[in-house]
Structure 1
Amino acid sequence: MYPPERHTVIVTTARAAGRVEVAALAADLDVTPETVRRDLTALERMGLLRRVHGGAVPVERAGHEPAVSQREQVLSAEKERIAKAALDELPDGGSVLIDAGTTTVRLAEMLPADRELIVVTHALPVASALAALPRVTLHLVGGTVRPRTLAAVGGWAERALADVRVDVAFLGTNALSVEHGLSTPDLAEATVKRALVTAARRTVVLTDHTKVGRTELAAVAPLSAVDAVVTDSGLAPELAEEIETAGPRVVRA
């Protein structure tokens, strides 16, 4: 396969999956990892990809935040496994915060119907999934609803969360890196996410492997503020080790 053909395959794969890994590309294209790295460097110079640790992400994904409806079907099986594994992080009783996000909605849908829980959320899809559960006491935080995430943000939400103290916060994220921690494209949403972390005794992040190694515009929290990261088996073991060195325990579902 000639370089232009490889480049087309690499960019197409990156746009479909959100990220490409050097080792996987080398195996799929039957070339050496060094060849793949040269291809990624060339594509970065063309402005098509951005290099991250172990691979690359498409440039149009950096800073771009798809709507909830677009994200629901992406990596659906991985999100199911992540949400199921995150159930082990639930307290036996007590209270939790559930952030906005397609994976956190999956968690809400899987909450055991027979468990007494207090749930606080600023996300409309999460509230919708939990409203009918008789043993869940649901508190919905108000604010300005962002169409991209269907989550309430702004001063109203921040003031409400300032009065909350829960056992566990289940947080979604657009990006996670060892250097820059958790980040998201929107400044208002980042402020609310920080309030979720502050309000919780423990913070558990739910994220698929394509978000790891990325950094977005608005910083949320360093990894030292996170207790556990629940992700999928697509995360390379060496990346999991780097994350654990920075603080949180990593669960690969």
Structure 2
Amino acid sequence: MYAEERQSSIASEVRSRGRVSVADLAARFSVTGETVRRDLAILQRSGQLVRVHGGAVRPDVAAVVEEPDLAIREQSRRIEKTAIGVAALALLPAAGGSVLIDAGTTTLQLASAIHPDTRLTFITNSIQVGGVLAALPGSAVMLTGGRLRPTTGATVGADAVAMLSTVRASVGFLGTNALSVGHGLSTPDADEAAVKRAMIAACGTTVVLADSSKINREELVRFGTLDDIDVVITDTGIDPGFVSELRAHDIEVVVA
């Protein structure tokens, strides 16, 4: 495929989907990430898209691509997130097991609901989650390390990914910004996506905690497919049709 043809296809996808990622485009067109970034730069100069970290977005959505900060997200859908966190307790392993907990406001509700007598080893990339778990006298807490993103309270980067490559947890509880059938699990930030991808690889069972506002949505960077998910815990606002689609992919759906 000539560069002009590839760029035309990229522009068409941005117009239809609103956003694209460098990694997905490089795989689709069998080119390097650097080639894709050059294509995006050319398309940006012609006004067809706006480049963002990890990819590009349609000009009309560029203003809203940034994530809301942690304080705002903590107050959003708090009742639903609390119920999801409590429901997730049923999937904790037996005493002596290991648990990976992702950064996020819903996963924080899970951490806050864990009984003080619990005896588990926890691994997390969240300063907030780690602080809550540190108060459990019978449990141990391991932090992934890495660079702290104030927007989400998550640690990201090569150090976090490297640490996760050395561990294997019984179960992992992950948050997500979006979940759809076609795009899978996704988030706006490429660095967070890399850590979440490493988390999926590091756990035996993957449980996604996502309130219904995240369902049937897509964000810029995919970090997992439906095949990576074992359980989804959500709230009663989820579309029953989407529940059926998830179950058709052998995913257990728990409605809290």
TM range, smaller chain: 0.7 to 0.9
AA matched with 1:223: L
Q: Paired residue for 2:246?
A: 243
Q: Hey, what's the Cα distance between the residues in 1 that align with 2:63 and 2:228?
A: 26
> Residue 75 of structure 2: SS of its match in structure 1?
coil
User: 1:20-169 to 2 correspondence within 5 Å?
Assistant: 63-93=65-95, 94-169=97-172
Given the alignment, which residue of 219, 228, 233 partners 1:230?
Answer: 233
The residue type paired with residue 133 of structure 1 is: L
In structure 1, what residue type is equivalent to 2:65?
A: G
How large is the Cα RMSD of the aligned pairs?
1.5
**Where does the alignment leave 5 or more consecutive residues of structure 1 unmatched?**
1-58
8 A contact 1:100–1:126 mirrored in 2:
yes
**3-state secondary structure, aligned to 1:171:** strand
Aligned residues: 196
Q: Distance in 2 between matches of 1:84 and 1:62?
A: 31
CA distance in 2, matches of 1:165, 1:77: 32
Q: Which has the larger displacement, 190-199 or 59-68?
A: 59-68
Q: Distance in 1 between matches of 2:231 and 2:175?
A: 12
User: CA–CA distance in 2 between the matches of 1:103 and 1:60?
Assistant: 26
Q: Report the equivalent of 1:184.
A: 187
Check the 8 A contact 1:121/1:140 in 2, yes or no. Answer: yes
Does residue 215 of structure 1 match 2:218? yes
1:126, 1:240 → 2: CA distance?
29
Q: CA deviation at 1:245?
A: 1.2
Shift of 1:153: 0.5
Shift of 1:180: 1.1
The one-letter amino acid paired with 2:90 is D
Partner deviation per Cα, 1:23-79 (whole Å, 9 max, x = no partner): xxxxxxxxxxxxxxxxxxxxxxxxxxxxxxxxxxxx689633111111011111100
Task: Name the aligned partner's letter for residue 64 of structure 1.
Answer: E
Preserved CA contact (<8 Å) 1:80 1:106: yes
> One-letter code of the match for 2:186?
S
Q: How does 1:195-214 map to 2 (within 5 A)?
A: 195-214=198-217
Letter of the aligned partner of 1:75 in structure 2? R
**Matches of 1:228 and 1:131, distance apart in 2:** 26
**Percent identity at matched positions?**
48
Task: Specify whether residues 202 and 125 from structure 1 end up closer, same or farther in structure 2 by C-alpha distance, changes over 3 A only.
Answer: same
CA–CA distance in structure 1, aligned partners of residues 228 and 67 of structure 2:
24
Runs of 4+ in 1 over 4 A off after TM superposition: 59-62
CA deviation string 1:118-152 (max 9, x = no partner): 00001111011111210110011110001111111
SS at 1:72's partner residue? helix
Q: 1 CA distance for matches of 2:220 and 2:125?
A: 21
Give, in whole Å, the separation in 2 of the partners of 1:153 and 1:117: 24
Contact persistence 1:87–1:111 (CA under 8 A)? yes
Structure 1 residue 220, shift from structure 2 partner? 0.6
CA distance in 2, matches of 1:179, 1:246: 12
**What is the Cα deviation at residue 239 of structure 1?**
1.2
On the 8 A contact 2:118/2:136 being kept in 1, the answer is: no
What CA distance in whole angstroms lies between the structure 1 residues aligned with 2:251 and 2:121?
25
Structure 2 CA distance for partners of 1:61 and 1:131, relative to 1, 3 Å: farther
- Residue identity matched to 1:228: V
Amino acid at match of 1:172: G
